[in-house]
Amino acid sequence: MKKKVLSVILALCIACGVLSLAGCGGNADRVTLNVYNWGEYIDLSVLPEFEKETGIKVNYTTYASNEEMYAKVSSGAASYDVVIPSDYMIAKLIEEDMLAELDFSNIPNYQYIGEDYRGLQYDPENKFSVPYSWGTTVIMYNKTVVDPADVADKSVDLMWNEKYKDQILMFDNPRDAFALALSKLGYSFNSTNPDEWEQAAELLRQQKPLVQSYVMDQIFDKMEAGEAAIAAYYAGDALIIQEENPDVDYFIPKEGANMFVDAMCVMKNTQHKAEAEAFINFMLKTDVAVKTAEVIGYATPHTAAKAELDPEITGNPVVYPDAAILENTEVFLNLTPEIGKLQSELWTDIKKD
């Protein structure tokens, strides 16, 4: 008898457990904001500061690529309030009507955003996004391993140099990987000519035996520990890596590089638009923007924050490239569906062979 009573109680407990799982998130008096950002892309200490200041709880999660972010937000499986994707992905989200139009009266700190970063191609009317940081892709190398003669011309060819077989780290995402190959061929990163993409794929296939591994955030460990000698990655991260390992140096390849702007956006299906805008405004407070820029290493579009940063950083021509170098960079645009599909197929082929 006792056993039976016990089993009924157990069953009820399990049932309650299931029900409470289904009903979770019902905490009404405290708003939770779901913020979805790139990995290693924030000073985490500012989040509790925001929570203390506003009483809004932040559920902070990260992704490793724009595509991963897109897969999550478009599946509808999880709902996010604030996302911080890159330019071409923002264009895609706008096109698919997934972003909310921002109410800039809730974001007075927008005044600090430099003129150069307003009304950019991906959001020409400046309605959906607030720039968070910007930068270019760079090639970094370990000075103790790489012969100075091989980097003298600052060419992307370094990524294909057979001398450094098994010492090269390559982007584990197709957009950046293809951009590298397209720049070597002298084609646009936004090429609409399938033939040019095929040629780029051929180059990437040739490169595969030379590549030690395809990585994203693992690059920090590997370059800092001297595990690899050459890697293509983003400027800000190169700066952070150099701090840990002074043997690492970097350059913007002469063939050109990708210039990107990552910007804060609010998802259209958010339940907490005002709170999301408060978060964006908070991230634009000068002291917060300074912290962000110092930790992530990328260039800031925030004029007041830039003025407060160490001149050694703001004077670094790779982090804040001058107009002549920027002239030679290209911003990613949203690819046409056909090219997007082709890119995906080519990349899968390269990876699986």
Partner 1 sequence: MNRKSLTKTLVTTPYTIWMIIFVVVPIALVVYYALTDADGHFTTENIFAIVDYGKTFAVSLELALISTAICLLLAYPLAYTISRMHTRRQSTMIMLVMLPMWMNFLIRTYAWMTILENNGLINRFVRMLGGEGFRMINTNGAVVLGMVYNFLPYMILPIYTVLTKIEQSTIEAAQDLGANRVQVFRRILFPMSVPGIISGVTMVFVPAVSTFVISKLLGGGKTFLIGDIIENYFLGNTGTVNYNIGASLSLVLMLLILISMAIMNHFDKDESAGGML
Q: Do residues 174 and 88 make contact, with C-beta atoms less than 8 angstroms apart? A: no
CB of 222 or CB of 268, closer to partner 1:
222
Single out the residue of 45, 59, 61, 74 in contact with partner 1 (rule: CB under 8 A). Answer: 74
Q: Do residues 200 and 193 make contact, with C-beta atoms less than 8 angstroms apart? A: no
Q: What is the CA radius of gyration of the chain?
A: 23
Cα–Cα distances in angstroms (integers) from residue 257 to residues 92, 326, 345, 349, in the given order: 21, 9, 24, 25
CB of 154 or CB of 222, closer to partner 1:
222
Residue with tokens 């804060």: 264
Residue 244 in contact with partner 1, rule: CB under 8 A:
no
Q: Which of 289, 242, 42, 40 is nearest to 138 (CA)?
A: 242
Rounded CA separation 174/348 (Å): 9
Q: Compute the least distance from the CB of residue 229 to partner 1, in Å.
A: 10
Residue 163 in contact with partner 1, rule: CB under 8 A:
no
Q: Compute the least distance from the CB of residue 228 to partner 1, in Å.
A: 8
Binding-site string for partner 1 from residue 8 to residue 47, where x marks contact by CB under 8 A and - marks none? x-xxx-xx--x-----------------------------
Residue 274 in contact with partner 1, rule: CB under 8 A:
no
CB of 97 or CB of 312, closer to partner 1:
97
Q: Which two tokens stand for residue 96?
A: 């698919």
Residue 204 in contact with partner 1, rule: CB under 8 A:
no
Residue 137 in contact with partner 1, rule: CB under 8 A:
no
Single out the residue of 34, 37, 65, 155 in contact with partner 1 (rule: CB under 8 A). Answer: 65
Task: Determine if residue 138 is left, alpha or beta; phi over 0 gives left, psi from -120 to 50 gives alpha, anything else beta.
Answer: beta
Residue 2 in contact with partner 1, rule: CB under 8 A:
no
Residue 193 in contact with partner 1, rule: CB under 8 A:
no
Q: Please state, as a whole number, how many other Cβ atoms lie within 10 Å of the Cβ of residue 22.
A: 8
Q: Compute the least distance from the CB of residue 146 to partner 1, in Å.
A: 16
Q: Do residues 50 and 282 make contact, with C-beta atoms less than 8 angstroms apart? A: yes
CB of 192 or CB of 344, closer to partner 1:
344
Q: Compute the least distance from the CB of residue 244 to partner 1, in Å.
A: 14
Taking CB under 8 A as the binding criterion, the range among 114-122, 215-223, 235-243, 258-266 that sits at the site for partner 1 is: 215-223
Q: Compute the least distance from the CB of residue 214 to partner 1, in Å.
A: 3
Report the Cα 27 to chain-centroid distance in Å: 31
Question: Which amino acid is residue 119, in one-letter code?
Answer: G
Residue 62 in contact with partner 1, rule: CB under 8 A:
no
Phi, psi values for residue 143, rounded to 5°: -65, -25
Residue 230 in contact with partner 1, rule: CB under 8 A:
no
Rounded CA separation 17/92 (Å): 40
Sequence-distant (6+) residues with CB within 8 A of 54 are: 275, 278, 282
Sign of CA dihedral 196, 197, 200, 205: negative
Q: Compute the least distance from the CB of residue 52 to partner 1, in Å.
A: 29
- Sites of contact with partner 1 (CB under 8 A): 4, 7-8, 10-12, 14-15, 18, 65, 67-68, 70-72, 74-75, 166, 172-175, 208, 211-215, 218, 221-222, 225-227, 335, 340-341, 343-345, 347-348, 351-353
